[in-house]
Amino acid sequence: MSHDKLVGLGLLIAVASLLNLVGVFTQCWLYDNDYYEQECAGIVPFYTTEVSWLAASSWLMFITVALSFIIILVFFVTLTYIFRNGYSCGARNYFRIISGLAFMNVVLTIAAVTVIGVYLSKYSDFYVTFSLGYSAWISLGAAVFFLIVFGHSIHTSHRECK
C-alpha cells in the first residue's frame, strides 16, 4: 500500500502548524484605524494588565500552538508505527488522536477569534474603528487547514487501517 495519504497528511499538518505559528506570533490581531493613522496590536507578548477577553483569547491561541506541536509529535509516532507495522488496527488509534487534536485546534481558534471580534465592536466609535487584523485571518486559515487534517485523518483511519 502506498504512503501517499500519509505524505499528504504530513504536508497538511506542516502547513497548518506553520500558519498557526505565524498567525499567533505576528503583531496584527487588532487593527485600529482612525482618520490620522493606522495601528496594529498583537496578542504576544502577554501582559497581565490586558482586558480579560483579550487575555482569554490569547490563552486559547497559545493552547492551539501547544496542540500543533503535539499533533506534529503524534504524526511522527504514527509515521514510525506505519513504517514498522503497516496500516494495522493500532494505527487507527493514532489517526483518531490526530483528528481529535486537530478538531480541538479548530474549535479553540474559532472561539478566540469570535471573542475578539465581538468585543472589538464595543470599543469602536465614530472616530476610531477597531477590526480584526491579518493575524486573526491567518489563524482562521490555519483552522481551515486543521479542519482538512481532521477529515483526512478520519478518512484514513476508516479506509486504510484494517
One-letter identity of residue 26: T
**% pLDDT > 90, the chain:** 54
| HSE-CB for 144 with a 13 A CA cutoff | 8
**CA-CA distance, 23 to 60, in Å (whole number)?**
13
pLDDT of residue 154: 93
Q: Which residues of 85-108 are buried (b: 16+ CB within 10 A; e: fewer)?
A: eebeeebbebbebbbbbbbbbbeb
Angle formed at CA 22 by CA 21 and CA 25, multiple of 5 degrees:
80
Identify the band that residue 72 occupies on the pLDDT scale cut at 50, 70 and 90.
very high
Identify the residue with better confidence: 160 or 85.
85
7-59 pLDDT, tens per residue? Answer: 999 999 999 999 999 999 998 888 887 767 777 778 877 777 778 888 889 99
pTM above 0.95, yes or no: no
Domain layout of the chain by residue ranges: 4-159
* CATH code of the domain made up of 4-159: 1.20.140.150
CA atoms of 101 and 72, how far apart (whole Å): 10
- The yes-or-no verdict on residue 1 having pLDDT over 60 is no
Between CA 56 and CA 52 the distance in angstroms is 6
- Strand blocks (E) in 84-143: 128-132
pLDDT of 109 above 50 = yes
What integer best gives the mean pLDDT of the chain? 89
Give the length of the chain. Answer: 162
132, exposed or middle or buried, with CB in 10 Å at 0-12, 13-18, 19+?
middle
User: Are 160 and 1 contacting, i.e. CB atoms less than 8 angstroms apart?
Assistant: yes
